[in-house]
Structure 1
Amino acid sequence: MKHGGGRSSPCFGSPIWIQPEHPKQLTAIFCNLTDLALWHIFPECDLSWTLFILEAAPALQMFILNRARHSCTKASEHSAEKANVVWEPSKDLRHLNLKLLVMAGFEEEDKVTNYIRLVIERAVVLKTIMLRARTCKCCDAIDLEAPRRYQVDEASRRRIKERLTHGSSSTVNIFIC
């Protein structure tokens, strides 16, 4: 694990870089981690690699993923290159403390739906999921990395919620903003 050396956020600490490793190697480092935000994840990339954090951080209660990475955002010297990390979570992963999952950059697509369903299945006390559409706060551009402004009507909200919880006994509350 390397420190990213970037600016600190008023809400969160300094950025860090981590290499997806076997969770047992990271548990000593992440064992007391309760809140985590991962920003500027490329929307094209699979999200299953983030599950290694759930395995390595047993005390994690709030997990925020931001899939918005727009081309108007200037890359710093510490910015990551686009890479699609492939990760298979342990079959027996059961996270006992995660209560809130927030995803900024939500779009109704199979890889995102499958990821959220996997988190619902593995995070056994998950209470709330907040989904927010992908928008660029820096410009009004609508392009490949920041597609259409996502308008969700009530019927679409019900369909999305049903799709996310289908076949699950979870009582998670899903909010779509």
Structure 2
Amino acid sequence: MMMLPAMLSQFFLSCSSIPGHHVRARVYDVSEFVRTNTVVAHVADNILSTRNPEITISKLKVRFILMQPDCYIIGKSVACAMATQKVGAAEFEIVTEKVHLVCSPADLLDHAKQFNDFLGACPGAFAGLRRLWLRNMRFGELDIPNILSTCKLLESLRLSHCDSGMNSLLQLEHAQLTELEVDYGRFEIVELTCLPKLQRVSYRRWFYSEKDPLYFGFVPQLSKLRLSKSGSLSTRTIVLSQLLGNVPSISDLHLDFESEKNWVLPESPKLLRPVLSKLQHVILDNLPEGCDLAWTMFILEAAPSLKEMCITVWDHWCSMLMRDKEFRERNGYCEKADVEWKPHAPDFKHKNLVKLTIYGFQPDDIFVGFISCVMEHAVNMAEISLHDRKVCLCCGDLDPKVKCASRFPQNADERKKIIEELGISLPAMVHFLS
């Protein structure tokens, strides 16, 4: 049994229930996490220092808290292993002692300083990293470029609650980076200046800016884009033809509206087709309940290669700002309004869409009318999957007076009636999944 760590090729060392890993965590036993973090540091050191250099470590992931001396022990152990052994995919997930909900601006600056000192003390560990996830840091203007220049092999970078100050600029250049995730950044704009291997980008909850949140420079391989934000009065409308003007290679597009207002402008196919010509999969997540879905057809009009379309309709009360009614009203969160859309070619035919998936289906005019509209234009549709509302353990049992109960068809007669209303001649193509 004692020989087992020396024989394994993959290692995942982690502090359990790290502070800050759950967004709602506010209070925790610091002494317990300190002890656990120390254990992780010494286990990592023992395993890596006693392994046979001839046995390749195919995957090494270490999740730890940014605190001395533990992080230095981890960093130097990993650096030594990289220098003396074959180490494949190495990954650091670094969190801070304070969670973001209680971090002051001074805390964010201090976390960044701690990390920069760590980076400077253990450059060998970072030089071989393939994935890096940082949280709760406010960097100087040159810090992130320095991180990228040190992490020469980095393929995936995730920044959560990291920035360089309010309305700051983040410019990224890297030869190997294939994946970028930014969560809750206070950047005015993230410029993807030169990332020749970048394939996937996710930007969640950017802050208000008069500019688009992303600028795409040289990103010839970018194919997957995910944007997530709750729309309000201050949210800038995204014009996809402008945002994606330099990236006509998007094949997968995921837009998450977080159960609030639409922040994407429905555009004419003439403007959009040049940037959506290669789009094959689109996900429209968390559209607000009770609003017309017809406006989403503008994507179908502009994306002739589209194969699959997935829509989720859900008032997810956990992620919505429901407690402060006045705040919602003042910032325009309460305004549920249908988006105006009319087909530019009423009789257009789409030949490649074969699958439509809807979560949150209800047997009303909104959903039935939308599906009928899609069927009218998608002449080769092969599968329609209809799911009941998604269930959240935290908000799934709301008072019926507050939230209407689901009317998802449960029996054969109810489902047969829906199929008849849709006018579908092949009932087998419709799947009801509660």
What range is the shorter-chain TM-score in? 0.7 to 0.9
1:157 is aligned, of 406, 415, 420, to 415
Taking the aligned partners of 1:120 and 1:144, their CA distance within structure 2 comes to 35
- When Rg is computed on C-alpha atoms for both structures, the one with the higher figure is 2
* 1:148 partner letter: A
> What residue number does 2:364 align with?
109
The equivalent of 1:61 in structure 2 is: 307
For the Cα contact (< 8 Å) 2:351–2:378, is it kept in 1? Answer: yes
The CA distance in 1 between the partners of 2:402 and 2:306, in whole Å, is 29
Partners of 1:32 and 1:104 lie apart in 2 by 25
The 5-angstrom pairing of residues 67-78 of structure 1 reads: 67-74=313-320
Q: Is the 8 A contact 2:363 2:409 kept in 1?
A: no
Q: Structure 1 145/45 Cα, relative in aligned 2: closer, same or farther at 3 Å? A: farther
Q: Which amino acid aligns with 1:84?
A: D
Give the residue type in structure 2 aligned to 1:176: F
1:21 lines up with 2:267 in the alignment: yes
CA offsets 1:14-49 (integer angstroms, 9 cap, x no match) = 216431111110111111010010001111110110
Give the CA deviation at 1:171. Answer: 7.3
Q: Supply the distance in 1 between the matched residues of 2:383 and 2:389 (Cα, whole angstroms).
A: 19
Letter in 2 for 1:92: D
Secondary structure of 2:430's aligned partner: strand
User: Are residues 109 and 145 of structure 1, via their aligned partners in 2, closer, same or farther at CA, if it must alter by over 3 Å?
Assistant: farther
Alignment check: 8 A CA contact 2:409 2:415 kept: no
Partner of 2:342: 88
- 1:51 Cα offset (Å): 0.5
Q: Deviations over 1:107-161 (max 9, x none)?
A: 0001211111111111000000001112432422255785314351111111111
**CA shift in 2, pair 1:172/1:123, >3 Å:** farther
Aligned partner of 1:148 in structure 2 is 405
3-state SS of paired residue (1:39): strand
CA contact (8 A) 2:350 2:377 kept: yes
Q: After the TM superposition, list the runs of 4 or more consecutive aligned residues in structure 1 that deviate by more than 6 angstroms.
A: none
Paired residues, what number? Answer: 166
- Decide which structure has greater helix share: 2
Tell me, yes or no, if structure 1 residue 5 matches structure 2 residue 203: yes
Does residue 100 of structure 1 match 2:355? yes
* Aligned mates of 1:111, 1:48 — CA distance in 2: 8
Q: Does 1:129 align with 2:384?
A: yes
Q: Is the 8 A contact 1:21 1:52 kept in 2?
A: yes
Q: Residue 32 of structure 1 aligns with which residue?
A: 278
What amino acid does structure 1 have at the position aligned with 2:372? R
1:173 counterpart residue number? 429
Q: Which has the bigger relative contact order, CA under 8 A and spacing at least 6?
A: 1
Q: Is the 8 A contact 1:67 1:104 kept in 2?
A: yes
TM-score (norm 2): 0.35
**1:15 maps to amino acid:** L
Q: Distance in 2 between matches of 1:145 and 1:100?
A: 34
Q: Higher mean Cα deviation, 136-145 or 30-39?
A: 136-145
Unaligned runs of at least 5 residues, structure 1: none
**Which has more strand, going by share of residues?**
2
Give the 3 Å change call, closer, same or farther, for CA 30–44 of structure 1 in structure 2.
same
RMSD: 2.7
Aligned residue for 1:27, secondary structure, equals: helix
Identity %: 32
